[in-house]
């Protein structure tokens, strides 16, 4: 169970540096910052403005410490590696759960640095018992699941940090150091690398997975925060502070146990970081049936998560005005479109009144409203073809307008998704292949989502949410019967 208290010290040390995120915009000559996920406007005092040196803040006093923390936690700034004291490889125990994957285990162990504190392999009921010279091997006679295997290794660790690595990954050279750098912040309880493809793609599935794997969270560093751009990190590769995770993963979960851990750590006040400068390669599933099955399997995890952490994993997060605008646009009538435009203008005008401190409040309000509307439209298009495709299919059978809306959403969202992810790997697919694979990806996930909701007899993972905070449960959740 996660301990009832979070980090003992959240103060950034002197010399800690943060730099404004590349997407953060400076407004009114530094009077305010616009950025983060979701987008927010942060007003800066004259003192705070003086602390920004070319977009960089170096912690040196209480004022710079507070500003750096605020921008860091809000996603408006990212940490920069410095010469500050931080853990070393000898402070890390690597835990590898494995079941009937000896070749992958050998490949993984060969890629690990030699100066680690310890390596613990947990054999979770392999048909042929695992034996690795010079490595601690714990054995479960019968399989207990990945969560239990990781927890067994965690219990055997004595170092301050524990790295969980699945047996189908291979860390790239230099993977550990960027993750260790994140622990110079005493409030960081978890850091995760970028998961990349192990081999170059040769089929349409492998080329798609190279740029759009569910495990690959992109090119940009970010705080891991529920409902944000990076809302989870996969357990395929994680570095955690042992004191933060307690006994570790919830063994009652056989899917989404990594997301559950993230949500519980966040609820305790730990900071969680995604660090794409660290690369760990994953042997992606490229057989079409296995690939679709895995997508559906991921979808089944939404229901137990939604029951444990109310509002933390909604299919959509929309403000009332943006939800109304999207609904009106789906009607596809001139009057509805005009009303949607009027609502948008009204929302921008109301927001501008709250931004009176800025020199040009209407311009800032228009930017924020536009970003919010674009995000809402993108979420709606994605939800139609992913979370709610069974309902969209039924609507298409009855309505020509529904068919047109779904067709536009399917093509537009797929093309935007290809454009957004095209630079993630040089071997990615072209737009048409990406579009087709992306739609299958969504069909698989959506099928699993609805099956999980039916199995748990709940609509919780299907209910959109407003922008208010989710209710996260820090304790071990109840188990469904």
Name, in order, each residue with C-beta under 8 angstroms of 417's C-beta and a sequence gap of 6 or more.
212, 434, 438
Summarize the confidence of residues 291-315 as an average pLDDT: 96
Structure tokens that stand for 367 in this block? 């930017």
Asked whether the predicted pLDDT for residue 134 surpasses 90, the reply is no
Asked whether the predicted pLDDT for residue 351 surpasses 90, the reply is yes
Q: What is the pTM assigned to this prediction?
A: 0.93
Model confidence over 411-450: pLDDT tens digits?
A: 999 999 999 999 998 889 999 999 999 999 999 999 999 9
Q: How many CB atoms lie within 10 A of CB 468?
A: 10
Of 137-141, 177-181, 298-302, 465-469, give the lowest mean pLDDT range: 465-469
Name, in order, each residue with C-beta under 8 angstroms of 191's C-beta and a sequence gap of 6 or more.
179, 182, 183, 238, 239, 240, 272, 273, 274, 275, 278
Summarize the confidence of residues 287-294 as an average pLDDT: 96
Looking at residue 357, its pLDDT comes to: 82
Half-sphere exposure of 251 (CA within 13 A, CB side): 11
- Rounded mean pLDDT of the chain? 93
Model confidence over 2-21: pLDDT tens digits?
A: 554 689 899 999 999 999 99
Asked whether the predicted pLDDT for residue 481 surpasses 70, the reply is no
Percent of the chain clearing pLDDT 90 (strictly above)? 85
Q: Which of 357 and 163 is assigned the larger pLDDT?
A: 163
Model confidence over 356-376: pLDDT tens digits?
A: 888 889 988 998 899 899 999
Q: Which of 467 and 190 is assigned the larger pLDDT?
A: 190
Model confidence over 331-340: pLDDT tens digits?
A: 999 999 999 9
Looking at residue 469, its pLDDT comes to: 57
Summarize the confidence of residues 68-95 as an average pLDDT: 95
Looking at residue 1, its pLDDT comes to: 52
Asked whether the predicted pLDDT for residue 234 surpasses 90, the reply is yes
Asked whether the predicted pLDDT for residue 109 surpasses 70, the reply is yes
Looking at residue 4, its pLDDT comes to: 44
Q: How many CB atoms lie within 10 A of CB 38?
A: 17
Backbone angles phi, psi at 44, to 5 degrees: -115, 135
Looking at residue 178, its pLDDT comes to: 98
Helix boundaries (H) for 39-168: 46-51, 62-74, 102-110, 146-156
Measure CA of the first residue to CA of the last residue in the chain; give whole Å. Answer: 20
Domains annotated for the chain, with CATH where assigned, are: 17-80 (no CATH), 89-308 (3.90.550.10), 320-462 (no CATH)
Asked whether the predicted pLDDT for residue 475 surpasses 70, the reply is no
Q: State how far the Cα of 238 lies from the Cα of 416, in Å rounded to an integer.
A: 30
Q: Which residues of 394-408 are buried (b: 16+ CB within 10 A; e: fewer)?
A: ebbeeeeebeebbee
Asked whether the predicted pLDDT for residue 96 surpasses 90, the reply is yes
Looking at residue 328, its pLDDT comes to: 97
Asked whether the predicted pLDDT for residue 480 surpasses 90, the reply is no
Model confidence over 37-79: pLDDT tens digits?
A: 777 889 899 899 999 888 999 999 999 999 999 999 999 999 9
């Amino acid at each position: 169970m996660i301990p009832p208290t979070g980090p003992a010290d959240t103060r950034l040390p002197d010399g800690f540096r943060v730099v404004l995120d590349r997407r953060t915009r400076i407004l009114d000559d530094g009077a305010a910052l616009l950025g983060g996920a979701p987008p927010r406007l942060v007003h800066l005092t004259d003192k705070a403005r003086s602390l920004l040196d070319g977009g960089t803040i170096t912690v040196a006093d209480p004022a710079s410490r507070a500003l750096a923390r605020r921008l860091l936690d809000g996603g408006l700034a990212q940490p920069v590696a410095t010469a500050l004291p931080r853990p070393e490889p000898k402070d890390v125990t690597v835990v590898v759960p494995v079941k009937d994957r000896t070749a992958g285990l050998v490949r993984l162990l060969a890629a690990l640095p030699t100066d680690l504190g310890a390596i613990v392999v947990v054999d979770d009921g392999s048909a042929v018992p695992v034996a690795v010279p010079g490595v601690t091997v714990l054995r479960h006679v019968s399989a207990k699941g990945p969560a239990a295997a990781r927890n067994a290794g965690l219990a055997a660790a004595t170092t301050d940090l524990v790295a969980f690595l699945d047996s189908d990954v291979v860390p790239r050279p230099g993977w550990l150091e960027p993750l260790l750098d994140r622990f110079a912040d005493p409030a960081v309880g978890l850091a995760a690398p970028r998961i990349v493809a192990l081999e170059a793609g040769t089929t349409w599935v492998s080329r798609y997975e190279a740029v759009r794997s569910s495990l690959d969270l992109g090119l940009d560093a970010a705080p891991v925060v529920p409902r944000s751009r990076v809302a989870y990190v996969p357990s395929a590769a994680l570095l955690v502070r042992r004191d933060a995770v307690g006994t570790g993963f919830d063994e009652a979960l056989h899917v989404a146990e990594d997301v559950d851990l993230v949500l519980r750590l966040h609820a305790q006040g730990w900071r969680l970081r995604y660090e794409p400068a660290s690369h760990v390669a994953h042997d992606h599933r490229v057989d079409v049936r296995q690939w679709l099955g895995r997508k559906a399997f991921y979808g089944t995890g939404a229901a137990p998560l939604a029951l444990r952490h109310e509002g933390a994993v909604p299919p959509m997060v929309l403000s009332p005005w943006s939800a109304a605008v999207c609904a009106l646009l789906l009607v596809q009538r001139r009057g509805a479109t005009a009303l949607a435009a009027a609502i948008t203008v009204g929302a921008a005008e109301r927001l501008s009144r709250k931004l009176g401190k800025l020199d040009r409040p209407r311009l800032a309000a228009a930017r924020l409203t536009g970003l919010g509307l674009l995000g809402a439209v993108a979420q709606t298009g994605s939800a139609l073809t992913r979370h709610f495709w069974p309902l969209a299919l039924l609507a298409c059978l009855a309505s020509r307008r529904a068919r047109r809306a779904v067709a536009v959403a399917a093509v537009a969202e797929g093309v935007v998704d290809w454009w957004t992810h095209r630079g993630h790997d040089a071997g990615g697919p072209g737009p048409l292949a990406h579009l087709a694979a992306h739609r299958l990806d969504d069909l698989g996930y959506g099928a699993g989502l609805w099956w999980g909701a039916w199995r748990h007899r709940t609509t919780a993972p299907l209910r959109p949410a407003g922008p208010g905070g989710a209710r996260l449960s820090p304790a071990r959740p109840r188990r469904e019967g």
